[in-house]
Amino acid sequence: MSLRSHTRDAQLLMPTDALPRLREALSYAYHNTKLTRDKFDAVGVLPQNIRDSPDLAMVPATTRAEYRREFPAGVLAGGATLHDPMVVRSRSSGTAYERLLSADYSYTLAERRLGALAANPPLLRVLADPETRRSVRYAAPNCSDVECALPQTTIRDRILPNGMLVLPAAHDLYATSTQMLRQAWNEIVDWRPDYLSCDPTRLAHLLRYLDHDDPQDIPGRALVMTYNFAPAFATAYLRRRLPTGMTVANSVTMSECGWVAVSCPHGTLHLNTAELWMELVDADLAPVAVGEVGELVVTSLGEPLSPRVRYLTGDLYQLLDGCPCGHRHPAVRFEGRWRNAPVCSDGSRMSMRELDDLIGAPEHLVSYRFHQHAPDRAELRYMSSTGNVSEWEHSMRDRLRARLGKVCQIVIDVTAFLPAERSGKFVTCTTAVS
């Protein structure tokens, strides 16, 4: 993957009939939020100057840091208050220093969810069914609306108004006690969810624990894999384990933007261009072509509480050449966060997804964590069901060095424990090189 400029064959993700909504949204954001007004004024552009999609390039992008600095007064639409009963506040699961508080109207978030789900009618049927009343959420504590899903809290404390039970989860995934795993499973059985909304790595870990001595059927009509990147070792395990007939999908949600993408029944992720104006751009903010990886930039449509204008999400996606399902939402592949992508000696970056493809899901692999310490030094630690697998280690070292560069020394070791990030999120790939 590389983030070079390719203006030739660059793709416009958005349908042209979304243009009037874009123009309205820019005008709304300009007249109602200080951050957007400052941004436009700094370059001497007015919302009415944006007539066509390419004109959007005149508008400066907004970074996460700028948004955080201006929250709430500079980014919430004028006159709005966080105490409005229609306002949903959420905290991003980012590491402490960059954690972001976001807020939006519950109906804005519901519209985005519905817009994204248009790409997956079977999942929409389950989630929108009036008979669907109960669900469970299994994710790192910081990803939950319920502050720290600690075991000493009662079930009652962890049930959200929409019937979602937030399962108890330890901060550090692989340090979760067996007692806590058992409690999470017992609560799933007791709650009888219609669907599950889970970090796939966490759910795979729970099922592996159960399968060791007490394999059981998983209840529910659907599983939404969300909250975190889905590594192949976890999805392969879940695929073997889930009941046939269960609807399984991936979704990408961000506390800042709501539902950004959902996978269709073919398993391809589709961007939610129904409710968000999306761009996939290279390092120069030029649109990428099919087959290339770019950063997702989001401009909110409608009149949300906190409008976003060319918001740099920090997330990478590869633009695909459509999907057999034929849905109009652009087909993409989620590649992970930009800042977690190791830097290769040729100057390109290896995305979290690209690394995960290299590693794959061999039978012995329970989990792994890759970290690049320096351009010439990295480590791959893995958990294995059969102890260390030397042959696999040798072939992994060769493959990683072929991508990262021959100068890169890679330590590969089997381990019984892999640490989570400070945020509580377990991340398979990180880098100290920027």
Q: Which residues pair with 380 in a beta bridge?
A: 370, 412
Q: How far is the CB of 261 from Zn ion (least distance, A)?
A: 11
Q: Which residues contact 288 (CB under 8 A, 6 or more apart)?
A: 6, 10, 11, 280, 281, 282, 294, 319
Residue 33 binds Zn ion, judged by CB under 5 A = no
Torsion on CA atoms 418, 204, 247, 427, rounded to nearest 10? 0
Residue ranges in 300-359 that form contacts with Zn ion under rule CB under 5 A: 323, 325
Q: How far is the CB of 327 from Zn ion (least distance, A)?
A: 5
Yes or no: say if 121 and 104 are a contact pair by the CB < 8 Å rule: no
| SS3 of residue 209 by DSSP | helix
Residue 264 binds Zn ion, judged by CB under 5 A = yes
Residue 62 binds Zn ion, judged by CB under 5 A = no
Closer residue to Zn ion in complex, CB, 264/298 = 264
Cα radius of gyration (the chain):
22
Q: How far is the CB of 278 from Zn ion (least distance, A)?
A: 16
Q: Helix 200-213 crosses helix 178-191 at what angle (to 10 degrees)?
A: 100
Give the C-alpha separation, 132 to 135, whole Å: 8
Closer residue to Zn ion in complex, CB, 123/323 = 323
- Eight-class DSSP state of 62: B
Q: How far is the CB of 321 from Zn ion (least distance, A)?
A: 12
Candidates 68, 266, 377, 399: give the one binding Zn ion (CB under 5 A). Answer: 266
Closer residue to Zn ion in complex, CB, 202/270 = 270
Yes or no: say if 2 and 277 are a contact pair by the CB < 8 Å rule: no
Closer residue to Zn ion in complex, CB, 102/226 = 226
Q: How far is the CB of 218 from Zn ion (least distance, A)?
A: 25
Residue ranges in 127-156 that form contacts with Zn ion under rule CB under 5 A: none
Candidates 176, 268, 313, 340: give the one binding Zn ion (CB under 5 A). Answer: 268
Q: Identify which range of 49-57, 82-90, 264-272, 407-415 contacts Zn ion by CB under 5 A.
A: 264-272
Q: Identify which range of 64-72, 251-259, 263-271, 416-424 contacts Zn ion by CB under 5 A.
A: 263-271
DSSP string for 180-208: HHHHHHHHHHHH--SEEEE-HHHHHHHHH
Q: How far is the CB of 44 from Zn ion (least distance, A)?
A: 42
Binding site for Zn ion (CB under 5 A): 264, 266, 268, 323, 325
